[in-house]
Amino acid sequence: MDEDFGSIAAVTAGAFAATVLIAFLASRLGLYLRRSSRYEPATVAGVHIICFFILGMVACSAKAASTESSGLTVFVAQLVVLLWDLLRLPDPEEYRDDVPQKPRALTGVRLAAVAAAALLGFGLVYAFARPASDQDLIAETEQGLKQEPGGAVYLDALKRDFPEEYRTLAIDSARRLRAIRGGRGEGMTEEQLGEYLGHQINALIAAKSADMAKAPTPALNAYARSMRDHALALQKVSRLACSSLIDQLVGAETEMNFPPAVHETIARILAARLDLARAGIDHPTQRPAKPPEAALRQLQGEIRRRDSAAAKTATFSASGNRCNLAVHYYSAITEMPAETGAILTAYDLRPPANPGSAAATAPPPGG
């Protein structure tokens, strides 16, 4: 998933070498302008300090890199060039009045010291100021998702059940994030990228609906039981939250500005659907295209027995009944024979819901 290590190292080495070269040329110009007959440490240090501030301001003003990484790269490069100049200072004992001094050639230990400084400098830049790789940005994005209520639950399910799809989605998000931070986001912000990622995950889950419907009977039965439990739990948190969750599951647009417990429930449902899809792919089970009429009548009768008002409504249009109907619907399914319950659950997971389906007779919240 990460970019090639050699590629990142080559880019970092190239940038560091270019910065060293620029620092070297700038300091040559500074020493030339500050020329005097005495080539001494104070003169060299003063020129390098001025060059560092000038190059640092230019580098930090660039949009392509962060202020911290740019500043560190310039600072380390300037130190390498400063060491070069200090080790080439003439021997003070050879100074003669009115005779310009010439720097000493670098040989032996002095040359090795400069080379070691350059390698150490590259190591520091690579460790703390290298360009962010895909893996760095993916890890940052994952951390942000995990901080959201329930984020870790469906993220782990996505990575576990569909690693290739996750890989594609993660790399796309990382490169979009890099473009945004480099000023090439085409109007997209980091907050909008998070929303985009959420839409992509939801689209992936929706695309796997047909596979969910092929899951083995035990998996579908477990899903129905979990949906019953989620609806019962949401009733205790907020009936409005429960109704809005039903709206979202059947494809309606709704704002989910509710407590973290609600979002955690949504995440668990999304994760359960991913697990169902994986089970349907690995162990596909063939079922009738339409539930038997007897099963539909039995389902309707069970819902009517539990709540005659909800059964008479027979739609999700009445907001006061949607949450109750979800509880009754899944409670009824979980008490039916295993295979019958699986057929009904699978039919309502299968996109799109057809007229005359279980959804039409006793509308489920998962259609």
> Is 366 part of any domain?
no
Helix axis angle, 151-161 relative to 134-146, nearest 10°? 130
Q: Which of 130-144, 244-258, 310-324, 344-358 has the highest mean pLDDT?
A: 130-144
Q: How many domains does the chain have?
A: 3
Same-domain check for residues 178 and 308 = no
Same-domain check for residues 18 and 111 = yes
What is the pTM for the complete model shown? 0.65
> Is 55 part of any domain?
yes
For the cut 70, the answer to whether the pLDDT of residue 107 exceeds it is yes
For residues 127-141, b (16+ Cβ closer than 10 Å) or e, as one string? Answer: eebbbbbbebbbeeb
Lowest-confidence pick of 150-164, 231-245, 273-287: 231-245
Q: What is the pLDDT of residue 75?
A: 86
For residues 163-188, b (16+ Cβ closer than 10 Å) or e, as one string? Answer: eebbeebbbebbebbbebbeeebeee
Q: What is the pLDDT of residues 180-194, one digit of tens each?
A: 877 776 778 877 887
Same-domain check for residues 18 and 70 = yes
Q: What is the pLDDT of residue 97?
A: 61
Same-domain check for residues 28 and 170 = no
For the cut 80, the answer to whether the pLDDT of residue 152 exceeds it is yes
Question: Who has greater pLDDT, 172 or 352?
Answer: 172
Q: What is the pLDDT of residue 314?
A: 44
Q: Rounded to 10 degrees, what is the CA torsion of 200, 270, 285, 325?
A: -120
Same-domain check for residues 218 and 178 = no
Is 179 within 8 Å of 171 (Cβ atoms)? no
For the cut 80, the answer to whether the pLDDT of residue 295 exceeds it is yes
Query: Which residue in the block uniquely carries the two structure tokens 């690693």?
Result: 163
Same-domain check for residues 116 and 167 = no
Expressed as residue numbers, the domain containing 20 is: 5-128
